[in-house]
Chains A and B, each alone.
Chain A
Amino acid sequence: DTEVTQTPKHLVMGMTNKKSLKCEQHMGHRAMYWYKQKAKKPPELMFVYSYEKLSINESVPSRFSPECPNSSLLNLHLHALQPEDSALYLCASSQWDRDTGELFFGEGSRLTVL
């Protein structure tokens, strides 16, 4: 199994809503990532979890709250988002973050904030 599974594939939310994005991998990877990708742009790193602990937060606004309940799951909690937060949110995993190994991406969750 070399898949990173993300749900939901599409999400529309208002600025006052609270929602969550979910990500799951069963490759035994110990590093998991959230990226944000705007149209026609490369992915931008948001958060890195290493061994279930947050190791990198790229100065992301607090309206985005990551959570790693266990080594296979990664969530991104969303609250009070702005329309400019509309984007494709990609989850990725790798064996661990200190080694230059392959980064496996999920298909992404396309978020629209109204």
Chain B
Amino acid sequence: GENVEQHPSTLSVQEGDSAVIKCTYSDSASNYFPWYKQELGKGPQLIIDIRSNVGEKKDQRIAVTLNKTAKHFSLHITETQPEDSAVYFCAAGNSGYALNFGKGTSLLVTP
């Protein structure tokens, strides 16, 4: 089955700096790679996703890159703000129920 590795497990950055979280996956059949943000006491919320026919996608301060050959994808957050502090999960799969989640990255943005 699919195995998704996520690094780092914790990340602390100063406000205004960039944050990068990296994930690798094992199943070459995976074609969908979402990123979820989970704030304390809330459910995960999709912040950006990318499909295997695209190498990069950007939405304001958030971008995701995908390298299918190397089987890795990354989340980039620029100009970080304290409200970006949360746990971020990457996932990989090829259907709704077959999403496999990484173990999560706890991001802390300090003012």
State the A residues within 8 Å of B (CB).
4, 6, 31, 33, 40-43, 45, 48, 55-56, 90, 94-108
Q: How far is the CA of A17 from the CA of B102 in the complex (A)?
A: 34
- Whether A102 lies near B97 (C-beta < 8 A) is no
The A interface, classified by DSSP as helix, strand, loop or mixed, is: loop
- Whether A90 lies near B51 (C-beta < 8 A) is no
- Whether A40 lies near B95 (C-beta < 8 A) is no
Expressed in whole angstroms, the minimum distance between the Cβ of B62 and any Cβ of chain A is 15
Complex A-B, nearest 6 residue pairs according to Cβ-Cβ distance, in ascending order: A100-B32, A42-B101, A105-B43, A94-B96, A48-B97, A97-B96
State the B residues within 8 Å of A (CB).
31-32, 34, 36, 41-46, 49, 51, 87, 89, 93-97, 99, 101-104, 106
- Whether A103 lies near B96 (C-beta < 8 A) is yes
- Whether A97 lies near B104 (C-beta < 8 A) is no
Expressed in whole angstroms, the minimum distance between the Cβ of B94 and any Cβ of chain A is 6
Task: Provide the residues of chain A in CB contact with B49, threshold 8 Å.
Answer: 102
Kindly identify which residue among B31, B32, B103 contacts A42, using a CB–CB cutoff of 8 Å. Answer: B103
Kindly identify which residue among B42, B95, B97, B104 contacts A107, using a CB–CB cutoff of 8 Å. Answer: B42
Asked, given contacts A42-B102, A103-B34, whether A108 binds B97 with beta carbons under 8 Å apart, the answer is: no
Kindly identify which residue among A6, A42, A100 contacts B104, using a CB–CB cutoff of 8 Å. Answer: A42
Task: Provide the residues of chain A in CB contact with B87, threshold 8 Å.
Answer: 40
Expressed in whole angstroms, the minimum distance between the Cβ of B104 and any Cβ of chain A is 6
Kindly identify which residue among A41, A100, A104 contacts B95, using a CB–CB cutoff of 8 Å. Answer: A100
Task: Provide the residues of chain A in CB contact with B96, threshold 8 Å.
Answer: 31, 33, 48, 94-101, 103
Task: Provide the residues of chain A in CB contact with B51, threshold 8 Å.
Answer: 100
A33's closest neighbor in chain B, by CB? Answer: B97
Q: List 28 A-B contacts (CB under 8 A).
A: A4-B43, A6-B43, A33-B97, A40-B87, A40-B104, A41-B104, A42-B101, A42-B103, A42-B104, A43-B101, A48-B97, A55-B97, A56-B97, A90-B43, A90-B44, A96-B96, A98-B96, A99-B96, A100-B32, A100-B93, A100-B94, A100-B96, A102-B46, A103-B96, A105-B43, A105-B44, A105-B45, A108-B43
